[in-house]
Each structure stands twice: as C-alpha cells, then as structure tokens.
C-alpha cells in the first residue's frame, strides 16, 4: 500500500486532515492543531513503524519534517528505502 | 552578537581528582556540558586566553530515568566516566554553547521558549518536568510513563515500595511509623489516587476498612489482584460526581499520597482538576473530627539539582511561586484551600531518610537529610 494512503487513513480515523485539496493537507501541521494528542502520537509512531518496517530515530521524531503530513510521508518513504 | 546567558553556573564537580574538569549548567534548561577551564576563559571573551582548541565532554544525561528520586542534576557526576574528550575549534564550540543555551543571541527569543511544549515532540519550548519526561520516554526510551513510574517506586510484583531508592528510605520508613499513629483499627479510610494500592494495603493491615480509588483502571486491576482486605474502585477523579455516591460524614480519614499535586499542575492539560471541588468533597465525606492526611513532594525541594559536597550540600532554587518547570504547588497554594474550608493543620513533618540508605547512595542521603523531599500534613475537620 502507498505510504500516503496509510498515513491519510490513520488521520481520517482521527477525524481527518483539514484543508482544501491535497497540497493544503500535505502542508498541515498536525501537531499544532491537535488532531492527535500525546497518546495519539505514540499510537501513530508504533503503527507506522510496524506497517512500514521502519524505525524513527529521536532526531526524526523531533525534526521539522515530522511536523507536517507531507513531511512525515517523505520521511517514511526515505526510511523505507533499502539501506 | 552572542552573549553569555545569565542563567548559567559553573562548578568544579570532581576538583580533587580532575582539577581541569568543570561542569557548565544552564539552571533553567538543565542542560550541562563538561569543560576544560579554557572554555571559561572563552566565555569571558579574553583575547589573551584564545586558544586553537577547547576541551568539551558531552556529559548531559536525563538522569531522572534512573528513578523519580534519583539524582535530578542531569549530568554524569563521576568525571572519571565522562568518556573521550572532544577537542573543538572556537567556532564549533560557539555553536555547541548556543545549542546548550550557554550563549544566546536574542534574549527575547530565548525567554519565549520558557513555556509549555506544544506537543510531546516539541523540542523548541522547554516545557515542565512531566512534559520533558514524556518526551524523553517517547523519543529515546520508547517506554510507557505509567510502566516506568510503577517500576521505579514499587518492587516487581507491585506489592511493596522499593527499599533501594529514596522511596523506601524516606516514604516507606516514614509511613511505617506515621500511619499506625494516625489510623486505628476499625476506622474507615478513603485513599484518593491510590495508584496500584500498595499504601492502601499498608493501611488495611492496620485493621482499617479502606477503599482505594484511582482513575487509572490498570492500576486498580493490579491492586485487586491481591487486595489484602482493602477494596478498590476505578473512578474518574476529574468528574465532579466521582465521589458523589460516598455518603457524607462517613469516613474517619481521607489519605492522599503523591496525588494532590495533579490538582495544581494537571497531568492532562485539557482536563484540569478542581482543587476547590476536591476540598469540598473531602470535607463532606469526613466525619466531624476526621482528618485529611497528605504526603506530597515537598513544595520547595522536590526535583532540585544536588550540588556541593556531601558534608555541605546545596541546591539552586530557580522558581517557586510562579513555576514553569516544577510540577508541584507552592505551600500556600496547596494548603490554603483546605484552611479556607475550615480544616486545621494538626501535624506536619518534613521527611528525612533512614540512615541505612548511606549504604545505597551517600549523595542522595546527604541531600535528602538537608533538603526534605516530602511534606506530610494532617489537617483536621474539627468537631463544632
């Protein structure tokens, strides 16, 4: 399954990403607008690590990239690349 | 233009063995570096002292992970185990000092960071102790705060308070002699925020009829595995009707331990608890002549860094009445709602550790002997 589909599916289950059109949704700072709380972040990280067989390092979790939906998808895609 | 931040201190932690190793600490951010004395000269801006390399040791560690009552000073204390020295150019050093908030370029921007974290992943804003703990667990340890809390306070079976840290040396030792003085066989006791019920069971063993309540269902489930004559119920303590079905004037004692603090600095920001309502409910539930027993982190000394030598320890208090970092209230804020309701303080203890702890941790003992980590209060609802 495409990374974007899984990420969007997760956020849809949390009430959806606000924004009109794909670009706006990708630019969404989901942490700032509290789509998910702390427990939701833990749930999300665990789900994506298991689904994509990846490991987020501390630097990844605290990066600017991790803060937006689009950045998160790009980060996951990069971590999914064979080392 | 970089300036030396005014929030820093520098001290020779291991001067006797390593006279050339100093600790540099921002007392608010609690970030630390190990440095050679030439870095102090670098900070002073003396031209003559400028060198081609500067010695730095990365000694910061989130020491709270060793336990809530472990050394909260956030640096590797033994200079012998600081590891490899990093020799830095002035330029690289400046970058590192900026990252550690030792040097700042814009004071306003720096002060703006003294606020709550926007999320568990926010590294820009410093946040309070609980937020920092949550972030460390999420990003570095990848473990559950609830599980960690249990493991550092209680034995593996969650039946006893651990003896090998300050919970045992201070809390358990104190409770063993304090509870029998305050609670008699046959009395009715309500333990509010009982967690996994370890102290509730200590109270039950005195022959009291005790009910432990806690909002965490997992803790209540744990408590119920081996209830030892105590009763347990999960109740949403943030609900105004959490205690409503408990009859008025029905309990001799209401006990709270390490739980009242959450009524002042809520664990869940979106669900603040009402201290006024809690006090009303405790008053209503207690019989005339009944007592509220409180054992909470000391309003001043909890989680302060342990500095100085063991024979003369000292600390630095960075905030008290208006807190950003601390997670327990100042004394007045904690006690006043009870006094205003009509409670009278009938006993007070600032807890000291048992001397047997010297064998376990000499520094912890020295610090806790000078600066009490808990405050025990008895407040009575006098018979009119």
pLDDT in tens, B155-193: 888 888 888 877 888 888 899 999 999 999 999 999 999
Domain B156-380 has CATH 3.90.79.10: no
Tell me, yes or no, if B122 comes closer than 8 A to chain A by beta carbon.
yes
- At A62 the pLDDT is 87
Chain A, residues 63-82, CB within 8 A of chain B, namely 66-67
CA B133 to chain centre: 11
B4 pLDDT higher than 80: yes
Tell me, yes or no, if A39 comes closer than 8 A to chain B by beta carbon.
no
Residue B338, class by beta-carbon neighbours within 10 Å (0-12 exposed, 13-18 middle, 19+ buried)? buried
- At B277 the pLDDT is 95
pLDDT in tens, A6-64: 999 999 999 899 988 999 999 999 988 878 887 788 889 999 999 999 999 989 998 98
Whether the predicted interface score ipTM is above 0.85:
no
Band the pLDDT of B45: cuts 50, 70, 90. Answer: confident
Band the pLDDT of B241: cuts 50, 70, 90. Answer: very high
% of residues, chain B, pLDDT over 90:
67
B354 pLDDT higher than 80: no
Mean pLDDT of A72-78: 96
Number of domains forming the structure of chain A? 1
Nearest to residue B239, comparing CAs of B278, B211, B204? B278
- At A82 the pLDDT is 81
Interchain CB distance below 8 Å, B138 and A32:
no
Q: Are B173 and B353 in contact (CB under 8 A)?
A: yes
Interchain CB distance below 8 Å, B119 and A62:
no
Assign residue A74 the CATH number of its domain. Answer: 1.10.1200.10
Map out the domains of chain B as residue ranges: 3-109, 156-380
Angle (CA) A21-A27-A32 rounded to 5° is 120
Domain of residue A8 covers 3-80
Tell me, yes or no, if A58 comes closer than 8 A to chain B by beta carbon.
yes
What pTM does this model have?
0.88
């Amino acid at each position: 399954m495409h990374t974007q589909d899984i990420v969007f599916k997760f956020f849809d289950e949390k009430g959806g990403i606000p924004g009109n059109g794909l670009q706006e949704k990708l630019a969404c700072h989901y942490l700032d607008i509290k789509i998910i709380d702390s427990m939701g972040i833990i749930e999300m990280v665990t789900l994506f690590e298991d689904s994509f067989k990846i490991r987020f390092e501390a630097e990844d979790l605290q990066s600017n990239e991790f803060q937006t939906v689009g950045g998160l998808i790009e980060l996951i895609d990069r971590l999914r690349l064979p080392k | 233009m970089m300036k030396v931040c005014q929030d820093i201190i520098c001290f020779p932690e291991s001067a006797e063995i390593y006279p050339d190793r100093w600790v540099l600490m921002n007392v608010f951010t609690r970030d630390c570096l190990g440095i050679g004395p030439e870095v102090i000269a670098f900070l002073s801006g003396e031209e003559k002292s400028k060198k081609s390399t500067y010695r730095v040791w990365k000694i910061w560690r989130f020491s709270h992970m060793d336990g809530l009552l472990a050394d909260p000073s956030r640096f590797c204390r033994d200079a012998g185990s600081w590891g490899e020295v990093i020799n830095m150019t002035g330029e690289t050093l400046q970058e590192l000092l900026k990252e550690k908030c030792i040097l700042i370029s814009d004071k306003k921007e720096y002060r703006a960071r003294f606020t709550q974290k926007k999320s568990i992943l926010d590294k820009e804003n410093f946040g309070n102790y609980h937020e920092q703990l949550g972030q460390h667990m999420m990003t570095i340890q990848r473990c559950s705060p609830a599980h960690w809390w249990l493991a550092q306070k209680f034995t593996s079976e969650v039946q006893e308070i651990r003896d090998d840290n300050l919970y045992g040396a201070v809390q358990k030792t104190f409770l063993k002699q304090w509870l029998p003085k305050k609670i008699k066989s046959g009395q009715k006791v309500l333990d509010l925020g009982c967690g996994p019920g370890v102290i509730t069971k200590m109270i039950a063993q005195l022959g009291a009829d005790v009910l432990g309540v806690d909002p965490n269902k997992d803790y209540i489930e744990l408590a119920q595995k081996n209830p030892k004559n105590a009763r347990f119920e999960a109740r949403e303590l943030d609900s105004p009707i959490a205690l409503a079905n408990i009859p008025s004037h029905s309990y001799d004692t209401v006990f709270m331990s390490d739980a009242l603090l959450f009524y002042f600095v809520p664990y869940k920001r979106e669900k603040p608890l009402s201290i006024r309502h809690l006090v009303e409910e405790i008053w209503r539930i207690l019989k005339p002549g009944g007592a509220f027993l409180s054992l909470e982190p000391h309003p001043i000394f909890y989680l302060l860094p342990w500095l100085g030598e063991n024979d003369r320890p000292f600390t630095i208090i960075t905030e008290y009445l208006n807190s950003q970092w601390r997670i327990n209230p100042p004394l007045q804020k904690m006690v006043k709602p009870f006094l205003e309701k009509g409670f009278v303080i009938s006993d007070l203890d600032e807890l000291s550790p048992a001397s047997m702890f010297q064998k376990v941790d000499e520094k912890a003992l020295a610090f806790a002997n000078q600066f009490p980590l808990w405050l025990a209060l008895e407040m009575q609802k006098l018979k009119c």
